[in-house]
């Protein structure tokens, strides 16, 4: 029985997606739930699973096509028997059994699946262009040949097989050649390559430009002495990991410090909706994570109610999901404030861009030993520059600066996080 492979229901915030990578070819066996193709949306890459066990039939939508919920992208035969009986009328031409002797000779060295399909459809294998090693006919070639006959295409012409093989080969290799079109070398022999921008990258670029053009964005800077929190981490990291099963990092302290600062300055946790200001009574902190497909920002829901261990564990899970491409849209939707850490790449100073509709973002950077003055003495301390970009339409300079100072104070004296002072 033929089963249609359809695009599943997309989240409300996602209108459509682009097919980016077919995992299977026509004729390949598949199992229920197995990923057939990656669907790239504006936010995440989703899997489109096989709806049943069987053999993948013709692919109706190619890589690079834009699809939406309910679109049929391929068909699947639940069993070989169903596939054989369905196209039976196509084998009505009487002369088909005549070249049986020739077919039997050509079937030698072919797979059992190819032999069965050729025998039951009365096909002359010499007419089927092979895409396997040395021109060998594969099951996918036979299925494509049968489908061409069903659609009325003049595939089984009496011309030599190599003449028909040429356009078939072009059709099968087209998706791979068009994905990376190389431009001819210039007079100096230098090459260029033009590839389409991924939907995720295009969406990121669009939102960055929107943030820059639609907000009154300013950035204030400060520096943090990381020695107190580094000493605290070094003292308790082994005991912490033994008890909670997760490593004690610095991000948990910064999340806690940001939440404390947001409680004191609620405008930084707010957003603008038209001519209204929305003040949020909850603290959903976005943590920027690098993935192979670009920067993603999963959300720590109700971060004020999470312990350090829960924060560190959740961030670790987000990082692994980002690498695997398994982050869901729900995990990246919303957020009232964002933290980004360019220090993991060695950045010493930057001006982070807002993530609309949020009104603030904290940028962390690399920790470096620098000379600082303490009590009239020059000492070497591990210092980190931090940046707070904010929307000046809703946040005044005083609030923006004191917010960042509060974060600084909480990191330099972690006891403040416990005492809320």
Rg for the chain (alpha carbons), in Å?
30
The residues, ordered by sequence, that sit 6+ positions from 276 with a Cβ below 8 Å of its Cβ are none
| pLDDT of the residue at 132 | 65
Average pLDDT over residues 322-342: 87
| Confidence at residue 154, expressed as pLDDT on a 0 to 100 scale | 55
Residues labelled as active-site residues: 392, 396
Least-confidence region, from 275-289, 377-391, 407-421: 407-421
Question: Each residue of 64-77: pLDDT tens digit?
Answer: 888 888 889 998 88
Confidence bin at 409 (pLDDT 50/70/90): very high
State phi, psi for 101 to the nearest 5 degrees.
-65, -40
What is the C-alpha to C-alpha distance for residues 49 and 63, in angstroms, rounded to an integer?
A: 16
CATH 2.40.50.100 range(s) for the chain read 2-81
Q: Give the pLDDT score at 88.
A: 45
How many whole angstroms separate alpha carbon 95 and alpha carbon 103?
13
For the cut 80, the answer to whether the pLDDT of residue 247 exceeds it is: yes
pLDDT at 9: 80
pLDDT of residue 400: 96
Is residue 253 within 8 Å of residue 260, measured between CB atoms? no
CATH 3.30.559.10 range(s) for the chain read 200-419
Classify 27 in phi/psi space as left (phi over 0), alpha (psi -120 to 50) or beta: left
Q: Are the beta carbons of 419 and 273 closer than 8 angstroms? A: no
Q: Copy the structure tokens of residue 371.
A: 């000379």
Upstream peptide bond of 357 is cis (omega within 30 degrees of 0): yes
With a cut of 80, say whether residue 371 has pLDDT above it. Answer: yes
Provide the sign of the torsion angle of the four alpha carbons 226, 230, 232, 233, taken in this order: positive
pLDDT confidence of 245, banded at 50, 70, 90?
A: very high
pLDDT at 195: 77
| Average pLDDT of the chain, as a whole number | 80
Give the integer Cα–Cα distance in Å for 243 and 256.
20
Angstrom distances, CA of residue 5 to CA of 48, 71, 72:
8, 8, 6
Mean pLDDT within 154-176: 40
pLDDT at 109: 55
How large is the average pLDDT for residues 94-109?
A: 44
CA distance 400 to 347: 22
Rounded Cα distance, 58 and 74, in Å:
6
- Looking up tokens 């012409």 gives 157
Chosen CATH of 2-81 out of 2.40.50.100, 1.10.150.120, 2.30.30.30, 3.30.365.10: 2.40.50.100
Q: Identify the CATH class of 200-419.
A: alpha beta
125 or 277: whose pLDDT is higher? 277
- CA–centroid distance for 402 within its chain: 37
For the stretch 175-221, pLDDT in tens is 444 444 556 576 777 887 777 777 777 777 888 888 888 899 999 99
Model confidence pLDDT, tens digit, residues 278-316: 999 999 999 988 877 667 889 999 999 999 999 999 999
| Gap between the Cα atoms of 320 and 329, Å rounded | 16
**Mean pLDDT (whole number) for 101-125:** 62
Where is pLDDT greater, at 410 or 104? 410
- The reported pLDDT for the residue numbered 112 is 61
Instruction: Give the model's pLDDT for residue 168.
Output: 37
And the tokens for 359? 């009104």
Give start and end residues of each alpha helix (H) in 334-420. Answer: 397-412, 415-419
Residue 337, helix vs strand vs coil: strand
Q: Which residues of 109-138 are buried (b: 16+ CB within 10 A; e: fewer)?
A: ebeebbbbbbebbbbbbebbbbbeeeeebb
pLDDT greater than 90 at residue 343: no
Between residues 184 and 271, which one has the greater pLDDT?
A: 271
Per-residue pLDDT at 197: 78
Point out the least confidently predicted range of 153-162, 255-264, 298-307.
153-162
| CA separation for the pair 272, 292 (Å, rounded) | 32
Structure tokens given for 145: 């040949």
pLDDT number for residue 79: 64
Give the per-residue pLDDT at 43.
66
- CA–CA distances in Å: residue 171 to residues 129, 141, 175: 12, 12, 8
Task: Name the more confident of 162 and 218.
Answer: 218
pLDDT value of position 162: 39
Higher confidence at residue 166 or residue 138? 138
Task: Work out the average pLDDT over 405-411.
Answer: 96
Whether the full predicted model's pTM is greater than 0.85, yes or no, is: no
């Amino acid at each position: 029985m033929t089963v249609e492979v359809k695009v599943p229901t997309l989240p409300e915030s996602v209108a459509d997606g682009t097919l980016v990578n077919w995992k299977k070819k026509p004729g390949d066996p598949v199992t229920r739930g197995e990923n057939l193709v990656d669907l790239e949306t504006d936010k995440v890459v989703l899997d489109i699973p096989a709806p049943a066990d069987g053999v993948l039939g013709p692919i109706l939508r190619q890589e690079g096509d834009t699809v939406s919920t309910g679109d049929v992208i391929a068909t699947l035969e639940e069993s070989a028997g169903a596939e054989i009986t369905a196209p039976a009328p196509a084998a009505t031409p009487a002369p088909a059994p005549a070249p049986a002797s020739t077919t039997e000779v050509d079937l030698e060295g072919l797979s059992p699946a190819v032999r069965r399909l050729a025998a039951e459809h009365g096909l002359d294998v010499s007419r089927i262009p092979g895409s396997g090693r040395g021109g060998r006919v594969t099951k996918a070639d036979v299925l494509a040949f049968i489908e061409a006959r069903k659609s009325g295409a003049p595939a089984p012409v009496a011309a030599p097989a190599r003449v028909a093989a040429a356009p078939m080969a072009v059709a099968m290799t087209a998706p791979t050649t068009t994905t990376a079109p190389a431009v001819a070398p210039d007079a100096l022999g230098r090459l260029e390559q033009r590839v389409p921008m991924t939907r995720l990258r295009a969406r990121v670029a669009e939102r960055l430009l929107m943030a820059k053009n639609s907000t009154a964005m300013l950035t204030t800077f400060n520096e943090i002495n990381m020695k107190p929190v580094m000493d605290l981490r070094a003292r308790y990291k082994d005991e912490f990991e033994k008890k909670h099963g997760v490593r004690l990092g610095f991000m948990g302290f910064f999340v806690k410090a940001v939440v404390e600062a947001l409680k004191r300055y609620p405008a930084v946790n707010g957003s603008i909706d038209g001519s209204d200001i929305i003040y949020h009574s909850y603290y959903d902190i976005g943590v920027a994570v690098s993935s192979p497909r670009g920067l993603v920002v999963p959300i720590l829901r109700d971060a004020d109610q999470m312990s350090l261990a829960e924060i560190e564990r959740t961030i670790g899970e987000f990082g692994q999901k980002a690498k695997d491409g398994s982050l869901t849209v729900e995990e990246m939707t919303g957020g009232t404030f964002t933290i980004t850490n360019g220090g993991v790449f060695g950045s010493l100073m930057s001006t982070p861009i807002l993530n609309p509709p949020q009104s603030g973002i904290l940028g962390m950077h690399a920790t470096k030993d620098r000379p600082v003055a303490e009590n009239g003495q020059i000492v070497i301390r591990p210092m980190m520059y931090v940046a707070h970009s904010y929307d000046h339409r809703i946040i005044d300079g005083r609030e923006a600066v004191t917010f960042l100072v509060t974060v600084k104070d909480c990191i330099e004296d972690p006891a403040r996080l416990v005492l809320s002072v």
